[in-house]
Amino acid sequence: MGGRVLPYVLIEVPAIIAQATGVSLLFAYSLTMTTGVILFVIGCMIAIWRAWPRLRGLPSLFLGIAFAAAIIGASPSVSELLYWLPGVACYVPPAIICILILGECVRALDNEADFSATATIWMAAGAFIAGLCNEFTTPWIVAILIGSAFARRMLEPRMQIGCHLLIAVAALAGWTIVVTASGNGSRMSQMTNAGLFGHSLLEAFRFGLAQLGRFLRDPGVIAWLVAVGALTLAAPLPDRPDHPRARLLAPGLMILCLGCCYFEYFVHYYSTGIRLVERAQNQALILLLFGSGLSVSLLVRTYRQELEQLLSKRGMLLPLNSTALPLALAVVVAASLLLGRTGRLVYAEASSLYPYWRETVARHKRLSTTPDSVVIVAQHRWKPTLLLIADVMVNKGCVARYFGKTDFIIVEAPSE
């Protein structure tokens, strides 16, 4: 049995709703995923609100929307980010929790403030929940906490070792449940290339370089970083000057986030013998986007005077309350979404979405109304990857039971 307790619970939510209310499982699933998307956007908004305290009102709202849009636009698999429950349950909640903890650590450093008791309790609870989701989230959180403690030592606020330890212990408690589950060993034994340490280190490095190149070239990522830089430059100055060593936080954050992503690539390759699956890449993307945004914001603050002089000479310095700034940023973000990975996929597969929907409705009607216990099911002729991960082939027994059938006979899709 696997130890990913929270994903197992979340995957059962549609069935629980259907049994409790009497609605169809399909409707309950749609309701669950719609709620998940709303919570995902809210989580992004809260993370932005906490990490950028000098942005309030519409600028904060815009930056939160831009962050969520950048994630969706750059996602390697938007279906596993938003509407395939097993992919969402294992990787999206821990990603949101990680960026919330990272943002809280940076906020405390920026304000030279302590963690409040409430924030510490919430972070500890979130760390425990995130630790129950997969094998690599807890090492991420521990690395973030170590980085926070080291930065506090460097910038001379109070260390708060006890608070950091409490959050780390909570994360490790959840992680212990995951890694000690009996299913992990049996899963690794089935993977022929699993357990090769040196080979995994090399392959993770190669994969990481390729992923970093895609990340830096993605229009959504570029637009997100431009939006962060522009809003940081237009935001009010802090009440007190930054610590002389604060300029080291930006490269430190990027090293931390890149190291966490590499660790995820390595752990996955070591435990499975294959490169990181797309649903897990979503978690790395969320952390890297958030961390790079924080780094750009810190860099802009460090070199604010030079940037203001440069942009003023060219007439490009826009205040936060101007009309031109939000309009320009909105155009940049919208254009980046259209040109990004998901936008290109929507454009390429737009003509197949409606035929796929018609095939799905016809299949659902046939399975719901036919009295036969064994039903012939044709594979989809239209297979937009934006919506379809796999057709009914491997787990056909589960689908058959849902429709009250004993089995499916899978045949090739019709030629026309």
Q: What is the pLDDT along the chain (416 residues), one digit of tens a residue?
A: 567 889 999 999 999 999 999 888 889 999 999 999 999 999 999 999 999 988 888 888 889 999 999 999 999 999 899 988 989 999 999 999 999 999 999 999 888 888 999 999 999 999 999 999 998 999 999 999 999 999 988 877 678 899 999 999 999 999 999 888 776 655 656 666 677 888 889 999 999 999 999 999 998 899 899 889 988 888 777 766 666 676 788 999 999 999 999 999 999 898 888 888 999 999 999 999 999 999 999 999 888 878 777 776 665 666 656 666 777 778 877 877 788 888 888 889 888 989 888 888 888 888 888 888 888 888 888 888 888 777 766 667 777 887 888 888 888 876 66
Q: Select from 64, 51, 168, 63 the least CA-distant residue to 105.
A: 51
Where does a domain end: 339, 371, 390?
339
Q: What is the pLDDT of residue 322?
A: 66
Q: How far apart are CA 191 and CA 177, in angstroms?
A: 22
Where does a domain end: 284, 312, 339?
339
Q: Select from 137, 134, 141, 138 the least CA-distant residue to 184.
A: 134
Q: Establish if 279 belongs to a structural domain.
A: yes
Domain of residue 282, residue span? 5-339
Q: In this structure, is the dihedral angle defined by the CA atoms of residues 369, 372, 374 and 376, taken in order, positive or negative?
A: negative
Q: Establish if 174 belongs to a structural domain.
A: yes
Q: How far apart are CA 23 and CA 338, in angstroms?
A: 37
Q: What is the pLDDT of residue 323?
A: 66
Burial of 395 (0-12, 13-18, 19+ CB in 10 A): exposed
- Centroid of chain to Cα 393: 28
Q: How many folded domains does the chain comprise?
A: 2
**Within 10 Å of residue 114's Cβ, how many Cβ atoms?**
15
384 and 322 in a single domain? The answer is no
365 and 247 in a single domain? The answer is no
282 and 332 in a single domain? The answer is yes
Q: How far apart are CA 109 and CA 151, in angstroms?
A: 8
266 and 366 in a single domain? The answer is no
Q: Select from 285, 296, 326 the least CA-distant residue to 66.
A: 326
Global confidence as pTM? 0.91
SS percent in the chain: helix, strand, coil, step 5: 75, 0, 25
Q: What is the pLDDT of residue 190?
A: 64
Place of tokens 């460097």: 154
191 and 313 in a single domain? The answer is yes
Q: Establish if 182 belongs to a structural domain.
A: yes
Place of tokens 């995902």: 40
Q: Establish if 344 belongs to a structural domain.
A: no
Q: What is the pLDDT of residue 317?
A: 61
Q: What is the pLDDT of residue 142?
A: 97
360 and 239 in a single domain? The answer is no
Q: What is the pLDDT of residue 324?
A: 67
Q: Establish if 297 belongs to a structural domain.
A: yes
Q: Establish if 12 belongs to a structural domain.
A: yes
111 and 151 in a single domain? The answer is yes
Q: Establish if 347 belongs to a structural domain.
A: no
The one-letter amino acid at 141: I
95 and 215 in a single domain? The answer is yes
What token pair was written down for 129?
């929940």
Q: Establish if 345 belongs to a structural domain.
A: no
267 and 375 in a single domain? The answer is no
Q: How far apart are CA 135 and CA 361, in angstroms?
A: 38
Q: Select from 269, 291, 122, 107 the least CA-distant residue to 192.
A: 269
292 and 405 in a single domain? The answer is no
Q: What is the pLDDT of residue 320?
A: 59
Collect all residues with Cβ–Cβ distance below 8 Å to 204 and sequence separation of at least 6. Answer: 262, 265, 266, 269
Q: What is the pLDDT of residue 316?
A: 60
Collect all residues with Cβ–Cβ distance below 8 Å to 79 and sequence separation of at least 6. Answer: 87, 385, 386, 387, 388, 389
300 and 403 in a single domain? The answer is no
290 and 162 in a single domain? The answer is yes
